[in-house]
Amino acid sequence: MTASTDLDALTDFFGRYGVALTAGDVAALTGCYALPGLVVADTYSFSFTSPAAVALSFVGAAPDYQERELVAAHAVIEDVQQVSPLLTMVAVEWEFLDSQGHRVPGERYRYLLRATDDGPAICTVIRTA
């Protein structure tokens, strides 16, 4: 097993993640994370050590996506760096579509992914400018 720098594999992973985000599929989102995990932003950080904690962190996201009528999320992979044999850092800009088919500006993140027997898993999420 090695860290994935294959764009097709990463595109597939983030495609599944984006579908889960906009569908509010907390179980699928939880399955995308390695434990323990970490989220880092300018003004806060938090860690999670259980699937329940990951799920709880997404509870507020689904209503926000529904309120904004976001129906699709697409990850534009901007950069991929192999950090170690099992870790990959991926820079992503999220693009969203609303229910009218309009592009909605997204946000940028860096994801530290760990290679697992089941594919990539997010260890750390960093919101970037």
pLDDT band at 1; cut points 50, 70, 90:
low
Query: What is the full DSSP assignment across 48-73?
Result: E-SHHHHHHHHTTHHHHHHHTTEEEE
- Which has more confidence, 19 or 59? 19
User: Secondary structure of 77-95 in the HEC alphabet?
Assistant: EEEEEECCCCEEEEEEEEE
Q: What is the pLDDT of residues 89-125, one digit of tens each?
A: 999 999 999 999 999 888 999 999 999 999 999 999 9
* pLDDT, tens digit, 9 for 90 and up, residues 27-80: 999 999 999 999 999 999 999 999 999 988 887 776 777 788 888 999 999 999
Report the distance separating Cα 88 and Cα 72, nearest Å. Answer: 25
pLDDT at 32 (0 to 100): 96
* Rounded Cα gap, residues 50 and 103, in angstroms: 34
Q: Rounded CA gap, 50 and 34, in Å?
A: 9
4 phi and psi, to 5 degrees?
Answer: -90, 120
